[in-house]
Amino acid sequence: MAEYSAPIKDMRFVLDNIADLAALSKLDGFEHAESDVVDAVLEEAGKFAGNVLSPLNKSGDLQGSLVMDGVVSTPDGWNEAYAGFVEGGWNGISAPEKYDGGGLPSAVALATVEMWNAANLGFSLCPLLTQGAIESIMAHGTKEQQDKYLKKLVSGEWAATMNLTESQAGSDVGALRSKAEPAEDGTWRISGQKIFITYGDHEMSENIIHLVLARTPGAPAGTRGISLFIVPKYLVNDDGTLGKRNDLKCVSLEE
């Protein structure tokens, strides 16, 4: 029996009466947000949250993840649940269709996110971080970066992280010491150590795209001098295939 039962009727009430779904669906790009489509999305998301994610919540918490010889393994059932999540297209339901996303309003996607969070918060943090990277690359990436990374992140075949915090730089993120040195080929060599990186390593996705804060040579002190770099776990070739393993590694997990 499912341990989590999504409050679909309440969500639908909020979408109709507070978010004004009818008006949203008239906006350019949201033509698919018709009433019956939204009903089907909420229904199916509720099943995935209740039947797949919720049963793994307690067992995943008790078992935890392990790091051994530089490889992080997630609890039993996690890989299969993530594969189902990707297969169901849940990762990108609000991403633009040009990146193979579902093109639904964020209001609808948020209802599904609430289901993932309520059913299994530990699991849901992985797609949450990927979503942040998608938005960041859409807003600030070059066209080349968008073409290279967005479709795989939207599908969830690749996951993502944010690598901001260092042991001496939490709230005061401008105190970070990670360095970025330019290489001759136009790429950068990043060195440093991060801490508390959510889903910083795992084997659930083919690749992990890390968004890493670091300071370039001569950059001013404090937050004004930090830049954001795309650091893939596996380097990505120009044709989109995976290249060699980057040399970043996870040295320990939080307990």
Task: Identify whether the C-beta of residue 204 lies closer than 8 Å to the C-beta of residue 159.
Answer: yes
By CB under 6 A, name the one of 42, 104, 162, 212 that touches ligand FAD: 162
Tell whether residue 117 is a contact of ligand FAD (CB under 6 A).
no
Closest distance between ligand FAD and the C-beta of residue 168, in Å?
8
- CB-nearer residue toward ligand FAD: 17 or 171: 171
Q: How far separated are the first and last CA of the chain, in Å rounded?
A: 30
> What minimum distance in Å lies between the beta carbon of 166 and ligand FAD?
8
∠ CA 93-99-102 to the nearest 5 degrees?
20
**From the list 164, 190, 204, 214, which residue makes contact with ligand FAD (rule: CB under 6 A)?**
164
Q: Which of 220, 226, 219, 197 is nearest to 210 (CA)?
A: 197
Least distance in angstroms from the C-beta of 195 to ligand FAD: 7
Q: Pick between residue 59 and residue 193 the one whose CB is nearest to ligand FAD.
A: 193
Shortest distance, position 160 Cβ to ligand FAD, whole Å = 10
Q: Does 171 bind ligand FAD (CB under 6 A)?
A: yes
The residues, ordered by sequence, that sit 6+ positions from 150 with a Cβ below 8 Å of its Cβ are 95, 99, 134, 137, 138, 141
Smallest separation, CB 127 to ligand FAD (Å)? 13
Closer residue to ligand FAD (CB): 37 or 197: 197
CA 99 to chain centre: 15
Instruction: Tell me which of 120, 163, 205, 207 binds ligand FAD, using CB under 6 A.
Output: 163
| Rounded-to-integer distance, Cα 164 and Cα 173, Å | 7
d(CA 2, CA 47): 9
Q: Report which residue type is found at 144.
A: E
Q: Does 64 bind ligand FAD (CB under 6 A)?
A: no
Q: Residue with structure tokens 């993502």?
A: 160
Least distance in angstroms from the C-beta of 5 to ligand FAD: 27
**CB-based contacts of 98, cutoff 8 Å, min separation 6:** none
* Site for ligand FAD, rule CB under 6 A: 161-165, 170-171, 196-198
